Amino acid sequence: MNIGEIAKRSGVSRSTVSYALSGKRPVSENTRRRIQAVIDELGYRPNATAKALKEGRTRTIGLVIPPASQRLTEMQLGFVASVVDAAARADLDVLLSPSGGEHDRSFERVVGGRRVDGVILMEIRLEDDRVTRLRQSGLPFVGIGRTSRPDEMSWVDIDYETLISQCVHHLADLGHRRIALVNRSTELMAAGYGPAHRAQAGFDQAVAERGLEGVRTCCADDARAGVSCVARLLADHPDLTAIATINETAMPGMYRAIERAGLTVPRDFSIAGVAGRHWAENLHPPLTAADVPADELGAQAVDLLIRQISDPAAPHRGALVSPPISLRGTTGPAPAR
Amino acid sequence: MNIGEIAKRSGVSRSTVSYALSGKRPVSENTRRRIQAVIDELGYRPNATAKALKEGRTRTIGLVIPPASQRLTEMQLGFVASVVDAAARADLDVLLSPSGGEHDRSFERVVGGRRVDGVILMEIRLEDDRVTRLRQSGLPFVGIGRTSRPDEMSWVDIDYETLISQCVHHLADLGHRRIALVNRSTELMAAGYGPAHRAQAGFDQAVAERGLEGVRTCCADDARAGVSCVARLLADHPDLTAIATINETAMPGMYRAIERAGLTVPRDFSIAGVAGRHWAENLHPPLTAADVPADELGAQAVDLLIRQISDPAAPHRGALVSPPISLRGTTGPAPAR
DNA sequence: TTGTATGCGTTATCAC
DNA sequence: GTGATAACGCATACAA
């Protein structure tokens, strides 16, 4: 079923059908109706592939996610959801590309084959091959996250450095002197994952500014790791009274370890972090945290991308988001010892 | 950068370049090398859109998910992840379509515009317009879930009816006489959502078979709803000793309500259900549940779809999965009252 | 108001 | 072993 068939059955030329559909040229009411009748009868829909080839754009954006096998964090899911939603609102489809490993067929298909008009890149590292590849490809792209040279691209990002610093200052204000940072996994750290490094930098700086005793530790992205990580932390540093963290997924486990150590939050121990609002609220007790507006970030990324697509020559833009910390009751005065 | 440019620079015709790339016709080692050199130098990649138009297939599958705005459950995420992974293994890309509301542009674009070679449909209702639409479109599709007439399509599904029935029998074996079913939301029930209806059917049947007192209730898909739902349940039915549930997302809240009522699991109260393994294991305490193998189901759906695509005339197939219940310690003998 | 002709980038048929 | 050429289905510049 193609436009030629419709034309034949309506007794007009293909271009007339095309124009009747697009409205880019006046078509007499009479023929328009005749054409529409045939279209309705046969259930004709223009072939999107042919249209894309002709117009030179696919009306599709690529969303590069971490390999699905390694379960996505709540926040990453929030990004995916909001990107998909925002794209749908703009009548754009989303092509998913699970990437992140280096030798990557899916990524190369999407980017090299020009299957999309632009790309949104998640989980960016400080040095990221995919950014290099996208830059050379000339395809518009926006990062959720940024490399160590943010000027080279458009991006939206969470200001982990500032946020963790603020958490530490908040805890210091409450009298805590010995604070631990529970970061993301050692692997991500080693891979140069931006948020992990920036959180650490913010932590180090705040600890130095306030003359605190800071302990840094990495923790895998799951509840079980959270348990063992915090258990070890409490064993090794018995005088620890607070934790700052960006590791959403490990949080339930961290709670559990604190509880098992016989400590009550926030009376004996405080905890503050960075997490999606929904996640922070649903912890038990709800976590004092900087609420990352995942939906806004995704929408903003789509927005920036659409802008880049419509004007590829436009200068890069970056948007650093640092939401306020919502007090929810997991932080309190440092216990007297 | 297109194939003509490569041909010109290599001093051969476009067809030779095409054949050098596809290997579908012998090309002399010499010219092959010359062509490859030019390709490498210019970083040429065949345009996927043009290829799709010519070949009549897009090497893309559509994945129809519930609107992202309503957060997906852990299990749904598992399906998405496994579908994306399985598709990537088969060198297929995945186009996401957030659908489910009725007036649906994204769905229509993907299906009507033939942007994909086939579709995987999630969250199917007993009567589902999208199934009707897909059937009439002639596009191969596979459901994760099935309508009330399973013969009309290919699908993979979880046997909620049997699984919930088994949960009830297990609880009855332990001496429980008054058991509640915590189902999915009233809205899903009203919308004719298969799992909710089938779980209820399985519950009713098992309750009847064992001569138990059964209470059925719906519960929205979040922890908070789980709390209020179970709190009400315990208030209205003080002699309740067990719950069977398929509502993953509400489970943490259900635990909380039971705890707040001063009951200890499994000593005072038992709970069993259907959930993803990862989810069940990470509850605290880990839930006795039928472990839904989301990854297997997704992979199987992709498999079925690929089969449908390569042989559209092949008969429909259905696969009903009913994983065994893993005892994890949230069920115990009914308390003496 | 409508029709004809061309090209988007590719693959594949036919000819040499 | 290689080249010219015709589609794939659409949009649009050019004619009438």
The answer to whether the Cβ–Cβ distance between A284 and B256 falls below 8 Å is yes
Which of B84, B149, B118 lies closest to B308, judged by CA? B118
Closest nt to A114 (CA→C1')?
C9
What is the per-residue pLDDT for B101? 66
- Residues of chain A with C-beta less than 8 angstroms from the C-beta of B81: 68-69, 71-72
Rg, Å, chain B Cα set: 26
Across the interface, do A91 and B105 touch by the CB < 8 Å criterion? yes
Predicted local confidence at residue B103, as pLDDT: 58
Average pLDDT, whole number, for chain A? 95
Interatomic distance B15 CA / D5 C1' (Å): 10
**DSSP label at A150?**
G
Model pLDDT, residue A104: 84
pLDDT in the model for residue A172: 98
Q: Are B93 and A93 within 8 A, CB to CB?
A: no
Please tell me the distance in Å from B183's CA to the nearest CA on chain A: 20
Pairing assessment for the beta strands A118-122 and A60-65 based on DSSP bridges: parallel
Give the per-residue SS3 of A226-286: HHHHHHHHHHHCCCCCEEEECCHHHHHHHHHHHHHCCCCCCCCCEEEEEEEHHHHHHCCCC
Same domain membership, residue A97 and residue A9: no
The residue count for chain A? 337
Mutation target among B96, B104, B297 for the A interface, most CBs of A within 10 A: B96
Which residue lies nearest C3, CA-to-C1' measured?
Answer: A13
Return the DSSP state at B125.
B
B220 and B271 both lie in a single domain: yes
Contact across the interface for A91 and B110, Cβ inside 8 Å: no
Say if residue B166's pLDDT is above 80.
Answer: yes
Q: Look at residue A51 and tell me if it is in a domain.
A: no
The answer to whether position A52 is within a domain reads: no
| CATH, residue A202 | 3.40.50.2300
Question: Which nucleotide is closest to the Cα of B5 by its C1'?
Answer: C9
For residues B194-218, give the mean pLDDT: 98
- B180 and B96 co-located in one domain: no
Q: Please give the pLDDT value at position B118.
A: 98
The gap between A117 CA and C11 C1' (Å) is 24
Chain A residues touching B67 at Cβ < 8 A:
85
Find the residue in A nearest to B253 (Cα).
A282
List Cα–Cα distances, B38 to B4, B51, B98, in angstroms.
12, 20, 42
Tell me the C-alpha distance between A307 and B310, whole Å: 39
Q: Does B197 lie in the same domain as B141?
A: no
Query: Which residues, listed in sequence order, are joined to residue B182 by a DSSP beta bridge?
Result: B217, B245
Interval B280-290 mean pLDDT: 93
Mutate to test the interface with A, among B59, B115, B281, B296 (most CBs of A within 10 A): B115
A66 lies in some domain: yes
Q: Are residues A242 and A286 in the same domain?
A: yes
Cα of B329 to nearest chain A Cα, Å: 18
Residues A282 and A222 in one domain: yes
Q: Percentage of chain B with pLDDT > 70?
A: 98
Distance CA A126, CA A143 (A): 12
In a domain, B327, yes or no: no
Whether A223 and A202 share a structural domain: yes
pLDDT surpasses 70 at A10: yes
Residue B262 reports pLDDT greater than 70: yes
B109 touches strand D (CB under 7 A): no
Closest A-chain CA to B50: A53
- What gap in Å lies between CA A334 and CA A227, rounded to an integer? 22
List bases in chain D with any atom under 7 Å of a protein Cβ.
1-13
Q: Which helix (H) or strand (E) holds A130?
A: helix A129-137
Contacts (Cβ under 8 Å, ≥6 apart) of B109: A48, A91, A93, B97, B115
Residue in B50, B82, B114 nearest the CB of A48 = B114
Res. A72 pLDDT band, cuts 50 70 90: confident
C1’ D7 / CA A101, Å: 39
Q: Does strand D come within 7 Å of the CB of B148?
A: no
**For the segment A219-272, what is each residue's pLDDT rounded down to a tens digit?**
999 999 999 999 999 999 999 999 999 999 999 999 999 999 999 999 999 999
- Residue B70 belongs to domain spanning: 60-158+294-321
Closest residue on chain B to A54 (Cα) = B50
Q: Are B58 and A46 a contacting pair at CB < 8 A?
A: no
Q: Quick one: average pLDDT of A77-89?
A: 93
**Chain A residue nearest residue B284, CA to CA:** A256
Confidence of residue A103 (pLDDT cuts 50, 70, 90): low
Nearest residue (Cα to C1') for D9? A50
Q: Is B113's CB within 8 Å of A252's CB?
A: no
Predicted confidence at residue A74, as pLDDT, reads 85
Residue A114: list chain B partners with CB under 8 A. Answer: 45, 47-49
Return the pLDDT at A179.
Answer: 98
pLDDT classification of B73: cutoffs 50, 70, 90:
confident
Is residue B330 domain-resident? no
Tell me, yes or no, whether A260 and A300 share the same domain.
no
Please, what is the Cα angle at B259 between B257 and B264, to 5 degrees? 135
A256 by Cβ neighbours in 10 Å (0-12 / 13-18 / 19+) ranks as: middle
Domain contains B180: yes
Same structural domain, A138 and A74: yes
On whether both B257 and B303 belong to a single domain, the answer is no
In a domain, A326, yes or no: no
Question: Residues 26-85, chain B: which have Cβ under 7 A from strand D?
Answer: 26-28, 30-32, 50, 53-54, 56
Q: Kindly indicate the confidence band of residue B104, based on its pLDDT and cuts at 50, 70 and 90.
A: confident
- CB under 8 A, 24+ apart: contacts of A30-37: A34/A10, A35/A6, A35/A10, A37/A10
Residues A250 and A206 in one domain: yes
Which residues on chain A are in Cβ contact (under 8 Å) with B60?
95
Contacts of A248 in chain B (CB under 8 A): none
Please give the average per-residue pLDDT across B181-202, as a whole number: 97
Residues A206, A164 contacting (CB under 8 angstroms): yes
Closest nucleotide to residue B15 (Cα to C1')? D3
Note whether B132 and B166 are same-domain residues: no
Asked whether residue B77 carries a pLDDT value surpassing 70, the answer given is: yes
- Higher-pLDDT residue of B317, B73: B317
Report yes or no on B328 lying in a domain.
no
Contact A298, A86 (CB under 8 A): yes
For B88, name the nearest residue in chain A, comparing CA atoms only.
Answer: A106
Query: Whole-number Å distance, CA A23 to C1' D12?
Result: 13
Closest nucleotide over all strands to A56 (CA to C1'): C8
> What is the per-residue pLDDT across A113-149, written as a single tens digit (0 to 9) for each?
999 999 999 999 999 999 999 999 999 999 999 999 9
Using the C1' atom of nucleotide C8, identify the protein residue whose alpha carbon is closest: A54
How close is the nearest chain B Cα to the Cα of A89, in Å? 9
Residue closest to C13, CA→C1'? B15
Tell me what pLDDT residue A102 has: 58
From the CA of B122, how many Å to the C1' of D8? 32
pLDDT number for residue A71: 78
> What distance in Å separates the CA atoms of residue A48 and residue A58, rounded to the nearest whole number?
8
Q: What is the CATH number of the domain that holds A24?
A: 1.10.260.40
Contact between chains at B113 and A85 (C-beta distance less than 8 A):
no
Q: Count how many domains chain B has.
A: 3
Q: Please name the nucleotide lying closest to A21, CA to C1'.
A: D11
Tokens representing residue B95 in the block: 């186009």
Query: Residue A101: which pLDDT band, with cuts at 50, 70 and 90?
Result: low
